[in-house]
Amino acid sequence: MPPSTSLQGRLRLGQHDAEALAERFGTPLYVYDRALIESRYRSLDAAFSGLRHRICYAVKANSNLAVLQLLAHLGAGFDIVSGGELARVVAAGGDPGKVVFSGVGKSPAEIEEALRLGIHCFNVESAAELDLIASIAAARGVLAPVSLRVNPDVDAGTHPYISTGLRDNKFGVPIEEALALYRHAAAQPYLRVTGIDCHIGSQLVSVQPFVDALQRVMHLVDQLAEHDIHLGHVDIGGGLGVSYRGEQPPSAQDYVEALRPQFHGRQLQIICEPGRWLVADAGTLLTRVLCLKDNGDRHFAVVDAAMNDLLRPALYGAWMQIRETGDVAAEERLYDVVGPVCESADHLGKDRLLRLRAGSLLAVMQAGAYGFSMSSNYNTRPRPAEVMVDADQVYLVRRRETLADLMHGETLLPLTAAKE
Ligand SMILES: *Cc1c(COP(=O)(O)O)cnc(C)c1O
């Protein structure tokens, strides 16, 4: 059930009253709705029907173990970018055989662990990485499954920080160099070429860049076949957008139907790596107003969540909807909603028309993706608790950090008493 407003004007998350959740678990608090994640997964899976496909959830969007567990339970594979994410997938009961390993800088230890666990493939991002994987596989006497991440040089039309498919960014192998690298890979005794991958950016709200990129990729697939390199899968990456502020991203159905013709008559498995689209709408960050203050003619609402809890507004200038949750007796004003962190960039939203007083509860919407997973302990702030609502149940899926958690592993120096 999407977030809704009750008859009394109070925000409900699934079947639960936001204020009651905040009182029970404290704030700031991330709330995820199991039903929304599940329905997203099922609708994408259904859209792919008739195509041999695998949905590999991009773990970095939200790596809470319960979220991974839920998706594994639904049959998902996973797109990972570190050994840490691989460990999370395994801890959550995910199948390493359904894991694709992306990222421009995989360490030897991470490669070894992925080989040991038998992942589906490495999405290789450079010639140097290909050789590193080959040498580690040779030393262990195993075959490493590899797929090249090609950079098709299409403009995804998103924020420069989240666009990855253009020639001048660090991701992937330029598509015109890929043929030579595939031939090199195919000649290595300890590499098995399994597929091809491209991920062109995030928060795309039109299908056209996906179609353009896939067209270029399929052209390369055909060229490879002429050189007797036959691929098993095409990975179309992630990037499907959500509606933060009235954007109208394609539905799962529209997305798949736009790509389907290019798979016609081919024996290729299609892999996709959605992150944001599966989890953004299912998550809400609840935060309480600590105080209201005015500086000159600007009104500030200082809340207990900050950029360390939710970085997107400070990092990308991302606009996220901030809603009142009830209790709206006060006068309406334009507020900058800011956190307590000592950085001018620290804000959750600017110029928001809200009715607030100290103690009011606010909800930052669409916070399920790149929310908690980008959080930090900057300013020695314990990170929020995370709960999952599931019909009439609520599960605490990550307890709030304590100050002891934050100092864990640190040691003091053996200083002797200071001289006079
Ligand atoms: C981040 C990322 C994704 C997921 O992107 P979304 O925009 O969240 O769907 C998929 N694949 C790769 C390689 C990524 O880096």
Strand, coil or helix: what is 159? coil
Q: Which atom of ligand 1 is nearest to the CA of 276?
A: 8
pLDDT at 13: 98
d(CA 110, CA 82): 7
- The residue among 56, 83, 60 whose CA lies nearest residue 72 is 56
What is the residue extent of each domain of the chain? Answer: 4-31+282-407, 48-274
Q: Locate tokens 């404290």: which residue?
A: 26
Distance CA 317, CA 363 (A): 18
Please state, as a whole number, how many other Cβ atoms lie within 10 Å of the Cβ of residue 260.
14
Q: What CATH homologous superfamily does 4-31+282-407 map to?
A: Lyase, Ornithine Decarboxylase; Chain A, domain 1 (2.40.37.10)
pLDDT of amino acid 149: 97
Distance 382 CA to ligand 1 centre (A): 27
> Quick one: DSSP state of residue 53?
E
Say if residue 163's pLDDT is above 60.
no
Rg (CA), the chain: 23
Ligand 1: residue of 37, 60, 164, 316 to mutate (most ligand atoms within 8 A of CB) is 60
Of 148, 105, 145, 143, the C-alpha closest to 123 is 148
Name all residues whose Cβ lies below 6 A of ligand 1: 58, 60-61, 79, 102, 199, 202, 237-240, 273-277
Confidence check: pLDDT of 153 > 90:
no
pLDDT attached to residue 330? 80
Read off the pLDDT of residues 376-417 as tens digits, 9 standing for 90 and up.
Answer: 999 999 999 999 999 999 999 999 999 999 999 999 999 988
Closest atom of ligand 1 relative to the 123 alpha carbon: 13
- The rounded distance, in Å, linking the Cα atoms of 42 and 1 is 15
Mean pLDDT of the chain, nearest integer: 95
Which atom belonging to ligand 1 lies closest to the Cα atom of 60? 1
Looking at domain 48-274, its CATH class is alpha beta
Is 121 an annotated catalytic residue? Answer: no
Mean pLDDT over 287-311 rounds to 97
Q: For ligand 1, pick from 102, 123, 161, 374 the residue to mutate: most ligand atoms within 8 Å of CB.
A: 102
DSSP class of residue 76 equals: -
Q: Taking Cα atoms as reference points, which of 372, 381, 321 lies closest to residue 348?
A: 321
Mutation choice for ligand 1 from 202, 203, 234, 272, CB with most ligand atoms inside 8 A = 202
